[in-house]
Amino acid sequence: MVVSVEISVERWPIAGTFTISRGSKTEAAIVMCTLSDGMFTGRGECVPYARYGESLDSVCAEIEGLRVALANGAGRDALPALIGAGAARNAVDCALWDLEAKRIGKTVADLLGLSHLHHLTTAVTVSFGDVQTMAAAARDFADRPLIKVKVGGENDAERIRAVANAAPSSRIILDANEGWSNNNIVENMLAAAKAGVVLIEQPLPAGNDAILGTIPHPVPICADESAHGTDDLHTLLDRYDSINIKLDKTGGLTEALRMQKRARELGFGIMVGCMVGTSLAMAPAVLLAQDADFIDLDGPLILREDRKPGLLFEGSRISPPLPELWG
């Protein structure tokens, strides 16, 4: 039983500006949910996303609407019947995992049967911009094993070539954030293949991606904005090769684990991604990412400073979370 629910909004400045094809931002605005049973406390963090119709106010209101149910003993398994998938459910679900682990004196990894957590290698992000700026940013990351490059504008083929030349030893993921069209996707995919790109994420708008089932994939294509629910994964089979699982989309770690299992059964590759947030948001995803082909959990590296204690990043290497942070 949860005896108290605390909802707070926090703003974490970004180091510089983070830009994708849809726009730029200079801070990460997050909602934190803190649950207590009177003796132990669990925390969860989420990032409301306007692309999915969410705001700070709407997410706070959704969590507030669960106060009575949580006080009456509602747990993780009850959440899908009480609240839809999205950021609010993510914060509550992850807080419940954290609270449960602390109550019984074990880690969430123990509860999931993960006997040994591996260190992970995350992508680092090059924001969308002009060709010269993006090439310079990629050059700064040229020693990193995996770079995620935000594209989705005119002349992306030029951007792709410039970034690949600037970081020739790095594996490169392109993320168009729905910014390509039927008119340029073939040209851009061919440029990506020639540059040795390893994955292209969400090239076309969700709901307007049917062409992906009719054209070759010289580079594997990953669904992000098109991939939300476990039960809809089969509809992506003819268009996508991988899916990007984010806790803020699935509504928490519980559903993300279910989605990952089903995706593997269907033959999809797995990326575990994130919104721009602190280490508290990344910590549950680190457990999910133990079985992932691509990992994009560099949110804290985009911030001017991170939560303390936070995850330990050594270059692109992420250590498993300590219970003092989460889980």
Identify whether 261 is a catalytic site residue. Answer: no
Asked whether 20 and 175 are in contact (CB, 8 A), the reply is yes
Q: How far apart are CA 322 and CA 185, in angstroms?
A: 43
317: amino acid identity, one letter: R
Q: How far apart are CA 66 and CA 73, in angstroms?
A: 11
Q: How far apart are CA 321 and CA 310, in angstroms?
A: 8
Q: Which of 196, 187, 191 is nearest to 146 (CA)?
A: 196
C-alpha of 276 from chain center: 8
Catalytic choice (102, 106, 148, 150): 150
Q: What are phi and psi of 117, to 5 degrees?
A: -90, 130
Q: How far apart are CA 284 and CA 291, in angstroms?
A: 13
Identify whether 194 is a catalytic site residue. Answer: no
Q: Which of 296, 299, 294, 263 is nearest to 280 (CA)?
A: 299
Catalytic choice (106, 246, 249, 308): 246
221: amino acid identity, one letter: I
Tell me the catalytic residues.
150, 246
